[in-house]
Amino acid sequence: MTTPAPAATTARQAIITITGVNKWYNEFHVLKDINLEVGRGEKLVICGPSGSGKSTLIRCINRLEVHQQGRIVVDGIELTNDVKRIDQVRRETGMLFQNFNLFPHLTVLENLTLSPVWIRKMPLKEAQELAFHYLERVKIPDLAHKFPGQCSGGQQQRVAIARCLCMNPKIMLFDEPTSALDPEMIKEVLDVMIDLASSGMTMLCVTHEMGFARTVADRVVFMDSGEIVEENDPQTFFNHPKFDRTAAFLSQILNH
């Protein structure tokens, strides 16, 4: 049974709803009253200076970090200490890390098939077909039998993307996926992300790649010292920032 959507305040149906979230590391207030709604299929870019809580925020969405106040609802599932719910939310989300975090003792192919086989109970043959499908999509099918240590950074990050896709997530979380890469490799990873965006995936992306934000993002969120300072569509965000803090950050990051 589907209930008719309520008169939409946002254009899309929300898949992630964050309301009044606060988080502390001991005495340090790292997230301050965060309110954010992400629509299904939306591409959200989160930027802000280092230490502003961007990573912490997106890591709260798949419960790698625990928030202490407020509510986070992902695709209708509210995150609590209930292991079952955490598990359900992690089924819906995939996450990319700055330093890839591939499993170094397994080949690229094994990295891709391990989770489908053991977590989704997929037969190995099927998992391998799926893995090759996504390796094609990230344009490195010939690396299947290499170990991560034998691949370049850009290739490793693309393997990591394929590894997430093999679990068929609805939402992808990116935590500075290109920050550890040489300039020549950034493009190959961004290309894959752009391709992914065009397929309708919901994406939350912490990045300083402003070109990517301009072309792909539906909305840009700027954070500083644990707060969301402002959010807007990329055009307005880059051309007419509301706050001087945002303008200062943008001028730093765009003309260095």
Partner 1 sequence: MPQTWQPKPPTPSPSYSTGWLGWARKNLFSSPGNALLTLLSLAVLLATLPSMLRWGLWDATWLGDSRKVCDSAAQDGSAGACWVFIKVRLEVFLYGFYPEAQRWRVNFTLALLGLAALPILAPTLLRGTLRQTLFALAAALLMLATFGMPCAIFTACYLLLPLALPPLVRQRPFLELFAGRLAGVSAGLFLTALAATLLYFAAGQAGGGGAAGPIAVTGAILVVFLIFVGRLTASAWRWILLFTVYPLAGFFLLVGEVFGLPLVETHFWGGLFLTLVVAGTGMATALPIGILLALGRRSTLPVIKTLCVFFIEFVRGVPLVSVLFMASVMFPLFLPENVTFDKLLRALVGIAFFYAAYMAEVIRGGLQAIPKGQFEAAMALGWPYWKMMALIIMPQTLRLVIPGLANNVLSLLKDTTLVAVIGLLDLLGVAKASMADTEWLGFTKEAYIFAALVFWVFCFAISRYSVYLEKTYHTSQHYN
Ligand X SMILES: Nc1ncnc2c1ncn2[C@@H]1O[C@H](COP(=O)(O)OP(=O)(O)O)[C@@H](O)[C@H]1O
Tell me the one-letter amino acid at 39.
Answer: G
- 113 binds Mg ion, rule: CB under 5 A: no
Q: What is the 3-state secondary structure (H, E, C) of 38-105?
A: EECCCEEEEECCCCCCHHHHHHHHCCCCCCCEEEEEECCEECCCCHHHHHHHHHHEEEECCCCCCCCC
Q: Which member of 97, 187, 225, 229 binds partner 1 (CB under 8 A)? A: 97
Amino acid at 165: L
CB 187 within 8 A of CB 153: no
Helices assigned H by DSSP within 10-138: 54-61, 83-92, 108-119, 124-137
Give the footprint of ligand X on residues 33-52 (CB under 6 A): 48, 50-52
| Pick 46 or 167: Cβ nearer ligand X | 46
Would you count residue 178 as binding ligand X (CB under 6 A)? no
Residues 41-70 that bind partner 1 (CB under 8 A): 62, 64
Nearer to partner 1 by C-beta: 10 or 150? 150
Residue type, 58: I
30 binds ligand X (CB under 6 A): yes
Q: What whole-number distance in Å separates Cα of residue 130 and Cα of residue 157?
A: 18
Measured CA to CA, the distance from residue 72 to residue 22 in angstroms comes to: 11
Q: Which of 90, 137, 146, 242 binds partner 1 (CB under 8 A)?
A: 90
Q: Which two tokens stand for residue 243?
A: 């706050």
Draw the binding track, 39-58, toward Mg ion (x: CB under 5 A; -: no contact).
----------------x---
Binding site for Mg ion (CB under 5 A): 55
Interaction site with ligand X (CB under 6 A)? 25, 28, 30, 48, 50-56
Binding residues for partner 1 (CB under 8 A): 62, 64, 83, 87, 90-91, 93-95, 97, 99, 101-105, 114-115, 118-119, 121, 123, 147, 149, 160, 163-164, 167
